[in-house]
Amino acid sequence: MQIQPHTDRRRPLTATLAMAAVAAGALLAFQPAPQANAQQAQPPSTGQQLGGPQPAGAPTSFADLAERLSPAVVNISTTTKVAQPDRPRGPNLPENSPFRELFPELFGENGPGGGGGPARPRGSLGSGFVISADGYLVTNNHVIDGADEIKANFSDGRSLTAELIGTDPKTDVALLKVEPDHPLDFVDFGDSDGIRVGDWVLAIGNPFGLGGSVSAGIISARNRDINAGPYDDFLQTDAAINRGNSGGPLFDMAGNVIGVNTAIISPSGGSIGIGFAVPSTIVENVVDQLREFGTTKRGWLGVSIQEVTPDIAEGLGLDKPAGALISTVIDEGPAKKSGLRNGDVILRFDGQVVEQMRDLPRMVAETKAGKVVPVEVWRKGDIETVDVTLGLLEEDAPVINASADAPSDPSPAAEALGMTLKAIDPQARAEYSLGDEVEGVLVESVDAAGPAAEKGMRPGDVIVEVAQESVSTPAEVKDRVEKAGEQGRKSVLLLVSSRGELRFIAVSLEE
């Protein structure tokens, strides 16, 4: 079974996107789709917006909607020049040898010396749609990735060369521009946040090279994470989407684009009713940035986060698992400068509820750098609001590091939570390859039957905090664990440095 971005290559061509996930015990992978070989001639476009009001109830037919929207949907064809591999090196024979006539391929200009042949074009096909009368088009990044030439083929038979304005591989969105001789019909983005599971949708595209193909279905699910990128939030639909639909629009019944068809789950490359579209709220934000800057400019918070599990929520005193737990605050980052701390749980970001950890990266990315954002956090039993001025996300964002000095005087060992604890001394730093910046209490051994072992604690781990308080001696760890038990806690929250990475774990206090 495969998850596939659906572009087709006319020749054996590797997919320009790849991702893997496991579903129903099968491998899910991306593949890139074709254009129509024949298109019906249609009247010239008039440069009008083709959507309309949302009708009530289920449609008796999709014909009028499909006819109205099709002129704004294009087939995307690309050409990529691929150098031919070196030819075999021929033997070093005299110029008058008869073997030169029998095997000319070995002794031509690409014979001895082994030069490669001329570059040969390879093509791929996908879908796209017009978003402005002056010729801006949207498609998937994987449809045009690496292309030397891009063509937009319209339903009236025209074929226009498209210029690449910008791409965003993290959301698989690309913006193109053509220069039409008259205004183009176009479609608008709708509100994907308002679309509901069970709502009717219409897909128009270029499956298997059959341009202008229309399929209908419903929204099957929302907020799907298929491990395609850091901002996954796909709409799932059962409308037939196949290889070649990549980059094409998913419409609501008003004719507005509520998603860009991007991937499918399939055992064979054909539709089995599980397709995925990037929501229009994400696409529109990316397109606006590509149109203005030619690239994306995402906000940057400067934290490392982890999921708030039920036992971590209990250890923090939260009523239920929610939000994103900050495990590390990057030095000199926006969060650090604004006063956010390790152990804070971000509950709201710029007024939006952070229901789960994976919500936060999208929220931050969609917020402009330089904006002052209120961040509501759960901190040691209270809710506080911290104003953060977001930075600009760079590809070479700082590596997350802890920084502190090790305790100078070793303290006696202690037992807690099924672990033997000791102070960090030079011998321990050498034995476990602990950097000078690592501070806390060393885990010397772990009882395999103890509660710490159940949470994956290992010798060489370093306990940095207990119940959100820094610790530097084994006695401090033991005292704070006992205090948590006296307060009626079912678990105690530890911040642990393990092989150079920080993570929170909640260890049970119950016998």
Secondary structure element (H or E) that encloses residue 283, with its range: helix 280-293
Q: What is the rounded distance in angstroms from the CA atom of residue 137 to the CA atom of residue 7?
A: 17
Q: What is the rounded distance in angstroms from the CA atom of residue 390 to the CA atom of residue 372?
A: 6
pLDDT tops 50 at residue 31: no
pLDDT tens track for 477-511: 888 888 888 888 888 888 998 887 888 888 888 76
- State percent of the chain over pLDDT 70: 77
Report long-range pairs for 474-478 (Cβ below 8 Å, ≥24 apart). 474/411, 474/412, 474/413, 474/414, 474/416, 474/421, 474/422, 474/423, 474/441, 475/411, 475/412, 475/414, 476/441, 477/414, 477/416, 477/421, 477/441, 478/414, 478/415, 478/416, 478/421
Question: Any known ligand binding at 142?
Answer: yes
pLDDT tens track for 405-461: 333 344 577 788 888 898 887 777 777 888 877 888 999 888 888 888 888 888 989
CA distances (Å), 454 to each of 42, 99, 210, 462, 496, in order? 67, 73, 55, 17, 15
Question: Any known ligand binding at 6?
Answer: no
Is the overall model pTM greater than 0.75, yes or no? no
Question: Any known ligand binding at 172?
Answer: yes
pLDDT tops 60 at residue 26: no
The more confidently predicted of residues 76 and 403 is 76
Query: What pLDDT does residue 406 have?
Result: 33
Query: What pLDDT does residue 242 have?
Result: 87
Among residues 222, 469, 236, 261, the alpha carbon closest in space to that of 355 is found at 222
Q: What is the rounded distance in angstroms from the CA atom of residue 247 to the CA atom of residue 230?
A: 19
For 274, residues 6+ apart whose C-beta sits below 8 A from its C-beta are 220, 236, 238, 264, 265, 266
Active site residues: 142, 172, 246
pLDDT tops 80 at residue 103: no
Question: Any known ligand binding at 155?
Answer: no
Structural domains of the chain, ranges and CATH numbers in brackets: 2-54+66-78+124-293 (2.40.10.120), 299-392 (2.30.42.10), 414-508 (2.30.42.10)
Rounded to 5 degrees, what are φ and ψ at 106?
Answer: -90, -15
Q: Which of 4-13, 235-244, 250-259, 303-312 has the lowest mean pLDDT?
A: 4-13
Question: Any known ligand binding at 246?
Answer: yes
Q: Is 320 exposed, middle or buried (0-12, 13-18, 19+ CB in 10 A)?
A: exposed
Q: What is the rounded distance in angstroms from the CA atom of residue 442 to the CA atom of residue 177?
A: 59
Among residues 364, 6, 26, 29, the alpha carbon closest in space to that of 226 is found at 29
Query: What pLDDT does residue 32 have?
Result: 36
User: Across 57-66, 163-172, 472-481, which has the greatest mean pLDDT?
Assistant: 163-172
pLDDT tops 60 at residue 29: no
